Structure 1
């Protein structure tokens, strides 16, 4: 990301912020890394509180931030560690519900402003759903500002009692919204051969193997593709609690699906894919959908959550949970090269409407300025 450093206003102390992550899913962790780099470039002191493994993966220190290891929420010492790390901060910015709740507890009795960004919301039923709603209410009432990455998250925060909830500009880290089509990837044939997709369509899905991602529906849809010639291969990159269940179905039903586990080469997988699949029951600001459109790979997705708001008419959208509609959309798209090319072009145009990393940092910094106008003079 290219940024221009902003000098500290004359007579004003350097702004010090603390960014708080919980377990840190890929989207929020990448966002914090990008945000940290942009803030540091503008003269802001940034401390990132996150588990050590998150710093190993996202290198917050390499972005110029100080990293402080704070255990996950299941660790009873996490709030005390966070309270110590936030001492002396001008403001605290927490990302995600559990991180925000711990930040609120850590700041209890202090006048340090709390900003919260919601990147998604957890789906649950019964007692757990009630517990999560209580957490949401506690968090939004403690926050000076709640930033939601999608309009439905903003509405959710307002419904929970937020004093100030706004739509967040969230740029896709490492990308430019006006990116030009890339040259064909020379590694594409090698990647496809390694996956067993030489001479056949490669369909890619990426995400944790849990109920929300809708992989059971994807497997239902894959049964319909067995009649195609050549037979498409579905590659799923990700790990999660449903792996054993999904693998058993794949083997018992002889489905053309491979579970790849965790991968650090998603960009290479995208470059090798013919279609990207997003069968989720709910999504917020899907990183995979953004990556697919940037990479000019046609996307078939469910119209769940904020996906329609994000992709517009640049993807094939079907109702969530409808395996038949999902299967038909894939078959139709595989047989229509003109439609695929149209979606590639529409994808780039849609991506050009998304915020850039610089715009993301500028919005966040404007919120910080609002909340710290009366910081002490040097």
Structure 2
């Protein structure tokens, strides 16, 4: 796919030039892009990561062997601003391939390299879709229009789950494929007992949730479940690692209802938290190949999740799945596991086995590199 690769790389075959574009400074997208940048650079690709300055502060892309170019791609369903397009055009000036991650990044990249639906361009564009468009009302209408434009401007669309691939095809993608998101295996730095002591739960069971405090994650449903657990003889401590726009509202409800829940804010020791957890929960409205689910299963932490998006195909029979929005079912599933150590042990074993079936970080990098090196753009 990389335009001019055979001629321009003849004297120096190691210098395929790729620009990875992201429009967010948090979450699994940044983890994935950092993993790709490291793996591609290790294979001799000249990698530039373009995105918000806060993303570099959070993920340290420059430490992977990539160059970082600050481009402030605004959030939300509105047109990409011209300053971001100019900065991105400069970053992509000598790229053999541009790989955008997410809808906002895809729109900005398409504008920067002159790609439009049905209009070929010199520089190939790969778009990875990590999230579904969930907004409703006027914002949702605009977001879906922008989604279609981004998908149809790309040479290849990689979906992080099968439903995203189906959506891209329905929107007119020329080439849409499943693009599994591998992640480096988590490694705890501290033992679970010391982390539990820090959390202040004593010997109580620990139920862990990890993710941005945003509507998609459906944390109000988890708080409903936590209210039900208050009647248990041994009340579990629910800890939520992450930050976001709903923090004040969630904390207000926790205080008002005296719920056994702690908001931990952003943490860079998520693996340590998993080591301390008895159960992980994922109450989300939608997820693709959620890194939190991958980390929980890989570390042998029993997972209770909603059966949404790419979760069922990711976890198979190695997690307990409930319907989205059903707080009673979530509460009962967690309570049943807390009361059944044997079931927790079998899920831990099944989770580790399931994790071995997923593409790893090297597999993911190799797949992406093979896409880059396909014959040139349409």
Q: Structure 2 length normalisation: TM-score?
A: 0.91
Which residue of structure 1 lines up, in the alignment, with residue 109 of structure 2?
A: 103
3-state SS of the aligned residue for 2:148?
helix
CA distance in 2: counterparts of 1:371 and 1:103, whole angstroms: 20
Q: Is the 8 A contact 2:107 2:150 kept in 1?
A: yes
Which residue of structure 2 lines up, in the alignment, with residue 91 of structure 1?
A: 97
Which residue of structure 1 lines up, in the alignment, with residue 265 of structure 2?
A: 261
3-state SS of the aligned residue for 2:313?
helix
CA distance in 1: counterparts of 2:377 and 2:114, whole angstroms: 22
| TM-aligned CA deviation for residue 324 of structure 1 | 0.5
CA distance in 2: counterparts of 1:48 and 1:186, whole angstroms: 31
| TM-aligned CA deviation for residue 56 of structure 1 | 2.0
| TM-aligned CA deviation for residue 26 of structure 1 | 2.0
| Aligned pair partner of 1:171 in 175, 182, 185 | 182
Aligned counterparts, 1:296-335, within 5 A: 296-335=300-339
Which residue of structure 2 lines up, in the alignment, with residue 61 of structure 1?
A: 62
Q: Can you give the 5+ residue segments of structure 1 that lack an aligned partner in the other structure?
A: 1-7, 176-181
Residues 1:22 and 2:23 are matched in the alignment: yes
CA distance in 2: counterparts of 1:166 and 1:185, whole angstroms: 36
3-state SS of the aligned residue for 1:81?
helix
Residues 1:159 and 2:170 are matched in the alignment: yes
| TM-aligned CA deviation for residue 42 of structure 1 | 1.4
Residues 1:231 and 2:235 are matched in the alignment: yes
CA distance in 1: counterparts of 2:43 and 2:219, whole angstroms: 42
CA distance in 1: counterparts of 2:181 and 2:202, whole angstroms: 37
373 and 227 in structure 1: CA distance in 2 versus 1, 3 angstrom threshold: closer
| TM-aligned CA deviation for residue 52 of structure 1 | 1.8
Length, aligned pairs only = 360
CA distance in 1: counterparts of 2:71 and 2:249, whole angstroms: 33
372 and 38 in structure 1: CA distance in 2 versus 1, 3 angstrom threshold: farther
| TM-aligned CA deviation for residue 122 of structure 1 | 3.2
| TM-aligned CA deviation for residue 24 of structure 1 | 3.9
3-state SS of the aligned residue for 2:21?
strand
Which residue of structure 1 lines up, in the alignment, with residue 340 of structure 2?
A: 336
Q: Is the 8 A contact 1:119 1:148 kept in 2?
A: yes
| TM-aligned CA deviation for residue 174 of structure 1 | 4.2
CA distance in 2: counterparts of 1:185 and 1:345, whole angstroms: 21
| TM-aligned CA deviation for residue 169 of structure 1 | 2.7
3-state SS of the aligned residue for 2:74?
coil
| Aligned pair partner of 1:143 in 147, 154, 174 | 154
Which residue of structure 2 lines up, in the alignment, with residue 41 of structure 1?
A: 42
CA distance in 1: counterparts of 2:61 and 2:244, whole angstroms: 25
Q: Is the 8 A contact 1:94 1:117 kept in 2?
A: yes
| TM-aligned CA deviation for residue 12 of structure 1 | 6.1
Which residue of structure 2 lines up, in the alignment, with residue 4 of structure 1?
A: none
Q: Is the 8 A contact 1:27 1:287 kept in 2?
A: yes
Which residue of structure 1 lines up, in the alignment, with residue 123 of structure 2?
A: 112
1:322-352 superposed Cα distances (whole Å, 9 cap, x missing partner): 0110000011000001100000010011101
1:58-102 superposed Cα distances (whole Å, 9 cap, x missing partner): 221111111111112265411110011111111100000000000
3-state SS of the aligned residue for 1:20?
strand
| TM-aligned CA deviation for residue 11 of structure 1 | 4.6
CA distance in 2: counterparts of 1:138 and 1:150, whole angstroms: 20
Q: Is the 8 A contact 2:27 2:212 kept in 1?
A: no
| Aligned pair partner of 2:87 in 81, 87, 108 | 81
| TM-aligned CA deviation for residue 23 of structure 1 | 1.6
3-state SS of the aligned residue for 1:89?
coil
Q: Is the 8 A contact 1:189 1:198 kept in 2?
A: no
3-state SS of the aligned residue for 1:276?
strand
Residues 1:128 and 2:139 are matched in the alignment: yes
